[in-house]
């Protein structure tokens, strides 16, 4: 259903493609139940250091049914929000599936979120239950007094009957709870940062999985093929890890490798891919750059990939050339955002893209470059990249923010906020952001959230945040700070500000660069002119290059 048809050209595939969205579609039935036939088919390989555990579709289906009853015993039902504060591990997948069986809505949360980021998402979503580990429980406890209704916490590493994840799961009945959510029922609430105001929750229905399928099959060259096996270093708390890899792979019956660990390590990643016979990888640009810089030779280490997909920012011809040498294949780039993902993709095996382009519209999606009124522009003209509704991969709306949802659209077109152009053949070129989002190491960071955190420091009078180019991360966050009287603008204060944001917001969303200034450029109404700050940085770099 809604899968990419075979064809000899992109135009032929597009003509033959049709969306098929059954009204009673649900993610657990599509990903687990149809493969749980007693055959012992491998579904998930969980790796941590020297520990390795294999989960079958039968085992995941049974455990998720039991867990659904355990959640129901805690009062979780249709529409309730269940937060998942875990990394790549089996309990993460089980929590999503169990909640979805009840018609509940999951809220993936990044384990590196600081107290401000975590408190906002828990409070805004109204999560009634959080599934986490000991470290996560401590983080939740630290912000309990900032939540209108503190959630129940289940710990995956706790053995007591009341708050232990596995003891409660084992007591649950191994039968479907019979709630039967449908394709249009809410399933997952993923928070995305914007340039103004706090992060917004993008609410997606069960159909979002079907909406992702052609956008996964295209960069992975008619995925799945015999022997395919998927892994990504991207965290499952983000839409890229969850719906570019985990859920589509399970939908197709393809095993997924889960690595429980910390930061990306090139040598460990290569060893894992070789040892687990990984064939398909989604690797963010930053991970690819770190792998290239490490000097590790993947093929010499035994890595035999069939496909590599990457998204979040343009790779550049140098990195693509390295990929062909390192992996023996062409890395396919793709494009999307949390509100509507995997809209544009390359498929080099069928049609090598022109240099500098990020691909064509994935079959099933109507993507265009439009003007400020939502009118499609002719080839070659710069405008905003937009996707036409209805579309199964598109969000239902922002959580409790109807005005923000309405502002995202111009008539039938959903505006991505990214600037681009499209050529006569339909290949899109990304030209930059219309707004001020910072794309660092594949994470989209809104400056307002960082600025709000910085402003809490007693030494900060005014502050502004922008992204500046970085050879490894694509961009890094730079803060311009006007210090309050009595505070010396020195290296010690800069480090204190970096630590302040890192500990309170997130380890990926703190300013690596801090510049102290006497004033900031402001509009007549007092708004910070970040564009002027970016222009200053460009002029400074160009002057330095000359």
Task: Return d(Cα 63, Cα 93) in angstroms, integer.
Answer: 10
Listed residue (238, 80, 87, 237) closest to 149, CA to CA: 80
What is residue 291's predicted lDDT score, i.e. its pLDDT? 94
Backbone torsions φ then ψ of 406, nearest 5 degrees: -60, -40
As given in the structure block, the two tokens for residue 392 are 């199964």
| Residue 514: CA count within 13 A, CB half-sphere | 25
Task: Return d(Cα 15, Cα 178) in angstroms, integer.
Answer: 38
What is residue 512's DSSP assignment? Answer: S
Rg, Å, the chain Cα set: 23
Task: Return d(Cα 505, Cα 503) in angstroms, integer.
Answer: 6
Chain center to CA of 408: 19
Task: Return d(Cα 380, Cα 361) in angstroms, integer.
Answer: 16
| Bond prior to 390 in cis (omega within 30° of 0) | yes
Task: Return d(Cα 249, Cα 346) in angstroms, integer.
Answer: 19
What pairs with residue 256 in β-bridges? Answer: 44, 230
397-398 β-sheet, strand order: 152-155, 129-132, 81-84, 105-108, 186-192, 200-205, 397-398
403 contact partners, CB below 8 Å, separation of at least 6: none
Dihedral sign of CA atoms 18, 21, 27, 29 in order: negative
Identify the three-state secondary structure at position 385. Answer: strand
Backbone torsions φ then ψ of 355, nearest 5 degrees: -55, 140
pTM: 0.87
Listed residue (200, 148, 199, 206) closest to 182, CA to CA: 206
Task: Return d(Cα 193, Cα 176) in angstroms, integer.
Answer: 36
Task: Return d(Cα 44, Cα 89) in angstroms, integer.
Answer: 9
What is residue 545's predicted lDDT score, i.e. its pLDDT? 53
Listed residue (88, 98, 84, 190) closest to 132, CA to CA: 84
As given in the structure block, the two tokens for residue 360 are 């064509």
Residue-range domains of the chain with CATH: 26-206 (3.40.50.12780), 438-545 (3.30.300.30)
What is residue 301's DSSP assignment? Answer: T
As given in the structure block, the two tokens for residue 491 are 């290296």
| Residue 368: CA count within 13 A, CB half-sphere | 16
The answer to whether 300 touches 271, Cβ cutoff 8 Å, is no
pLDDT truncated to tens, each residue of the chain (546 aa)? 689 999 999 999 999 999 999 999 999 999 999 999 999 999 999 999 889 999 999 999 999 999 999 999 999 999 999 999 999 999 999 999 999 999 999 999 999 899 999 999 999 999 999 999 999 999 999 999 999 999 999 999 999 999 999 999 999 999 999 998 999 999 999 998 654 567 899 999 999 999 999 999 999 999 999 999 999 999 999 999 999 999 999 999 999 999 987 788 999 999 999 999 999 999 998 889 889 989 999 999 999 999 999 997 778 788 899 999 999 999 999 999 999 999 999 999 999 999 889 999 999 999 999 998 999 999 999 899 999 999 999 999 999 999 999 999 999 999 999 888 999 999 999 877 777 778 888 887 878 778 878 988 999 988 999 999 999 988 999 999 999 999 999 999 999 999 999 999 888 889 999 999 999 987 544 567 888 899 898 888 887 654
């Amino acid at each position: 259903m809604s899968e990419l048809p075979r064809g000899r050209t992109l135009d032929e595939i597009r003509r033959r493609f049709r969306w098929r969205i059954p009204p009673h579609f649900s993610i657990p039935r599509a990903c687990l139940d149809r493969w749980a036939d007693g055959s012992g088919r491998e579904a998930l390989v969980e790796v941590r250091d020297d520990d390795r555990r294999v989960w079958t579709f039968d085992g995941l289906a049974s455990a998720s049914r039991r867990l659904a009853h355990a959640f129901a015993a805690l009062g979780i039902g249709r529409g309730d929000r269940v937060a998942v504060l875990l990394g790549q591990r089996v309990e993460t997948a089980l929590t999503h599936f169990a909640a979805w069986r009840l018609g509940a809505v999951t809220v993936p949360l990044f384990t590196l979120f600081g107290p401000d980021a975590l408190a906002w998402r828990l409070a805004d979503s109204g999560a009634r239950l959080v599934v986490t580990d000991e470290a996560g429980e401590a983080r939740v406890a630290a912000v309990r007094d900032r939540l209108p209704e503190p959630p129940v916490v289940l710990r995956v590493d706790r053995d007591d009957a009341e708050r232990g994840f596995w003891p409660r799961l084992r007591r649950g009945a191994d039968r479907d709870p019979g709630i039967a959510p449908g394709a249009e029922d809410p399933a997952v609430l993923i928070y995305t940062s914007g340039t103004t105001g706090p992060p917004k929750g993008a609410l997606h229905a069960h159909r979002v999985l079907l909406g992702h399928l052609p956008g996964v099959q295209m960069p992975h060259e008619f995925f799945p093929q015999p022997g395919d096996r998927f892994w990504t270093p991207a965290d499952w708390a983000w839409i890229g890890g969850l719906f570019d890899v985990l859920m589509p792979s399970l939908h197709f019956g393809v095993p997924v490798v889960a690595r429980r660990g910390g930061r990306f390590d090139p040598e460990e990643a290569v060893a894992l891919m070789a040892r687990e016979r990984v064939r398909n990888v989604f690797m963010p640009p930053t991970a690819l750059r770190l792998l290239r810089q490490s000097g590790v030779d993947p093929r010499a280490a035994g890595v035999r990939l069939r496909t590599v997909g990457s998204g979040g920012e343009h790779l550049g011809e140098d990195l693509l050339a390295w990929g062909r040498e390192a992996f023996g294949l062409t890395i396919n780039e793709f494009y999307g955002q949390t509100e509507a993902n995997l809209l544009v993709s390359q498929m080099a095996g069928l049609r090598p893209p022109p240099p500098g382009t990020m691909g064509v519209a994935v079959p099933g999606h109507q993507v265009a470059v439009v003007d400020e009124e939502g009118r499609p522009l002719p080839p070659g003209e710069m405008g905003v990249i937009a996707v036409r509704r209805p579309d199964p991969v598109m969000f239902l709306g922002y959580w409790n923010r109807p005005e923000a949802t309405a502002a995202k659209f111009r008539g039938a077109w959903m505006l991505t906020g990214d600037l681009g152009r499209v050529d006569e053949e339909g290949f899109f070129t990304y030209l930059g952001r219309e707004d001020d989002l910072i794309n660092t190491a594949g994470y989209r960071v809104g400056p307002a959230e960082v600025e709000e955190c910085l402003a809490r420091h007693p030494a900060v009078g005014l502050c502004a945040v922008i992204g500046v180019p970085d050879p490894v991360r694509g961009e890094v966050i730079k803060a311009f700070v006007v210090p309050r009287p009595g505070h010396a603008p020195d290296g010690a204060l800069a480090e204190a500000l970096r630590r302040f944001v890192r500990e309170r917001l997130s380890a990926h969303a703190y300013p690596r660069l801090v510049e102290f200034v006497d004033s900031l450029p402001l509009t007549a109404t007092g708004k910070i002119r970040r564009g002027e700050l970016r222009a200053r940085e460009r002029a400074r770099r160009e002057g330095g290059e000359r």
